[in-house]
Amino acid sequence: MIYNAGMKPMDEALHQALTLFDLPLPVTREQLDRKREELLRTWDPHRFANHTNHPKKYMQMVKKGEAMVREIERAYGLLVESLSRKS
């Protein structure tokens, strides 16, 4: 369990989600939505992969971008669920 100052213990998955989104607590839904859009723009698989002209590296970077998009969406879901439980 992770302990934050003035907060109840958080489970590891929620802590990792907050770390990925790099947002201070308490977080609002608006902050979360803005950060999600920013991360999705940064990690868009084809946009991210356009930093190389090498075909093999391009496909590796597409896969890395796809994995990060899945991770962003998973973390976003956890954080939204956590916010709705607190409301």
Indicate the pLDDT class of residue 1, thresholds 50, 70 and 90.
very low
Is residue 5 in some structural domain? no
Is residue 4 in some structural domain? no
- Return the closest-CA partner of residue 22 out of 11, 35, 7, 13: 35
Is residue 20 in some structural domain? yes
Is residue 30 in some structural domain? yes
Is residue 64 in some structural domain? yes
Is residue 2 in some structural domain? no
Locate tokens 């607590």: which residue? 25
As a residue count, the chain comes to 87
Question: Which pLDDT belongs to residue 44?
Answer: 92
Indicate the pLDDT class of residue 87, thresholds 50, 70 and 90.
low
Is residue 65 in some structural domain? yes
Residues 6+ apart with CB under 8 A from 81: none
CA separation for the pair 5, 2 (Å, rounded): 10
Is residue 50 in some structural domain? yes
Domain that holds residue 31: 12-86
pTM, two decimal places: 0.81
Helix (H, G, I), strand (E, B) or coil at 1: coil
Q: Note the pLDDT tens digit of each residue in 34-63.
A: 999 999 999 998 888 888 888 889 999 999
The domain total for the chain is 1
**Six token digits for residue 4:** 């934050």
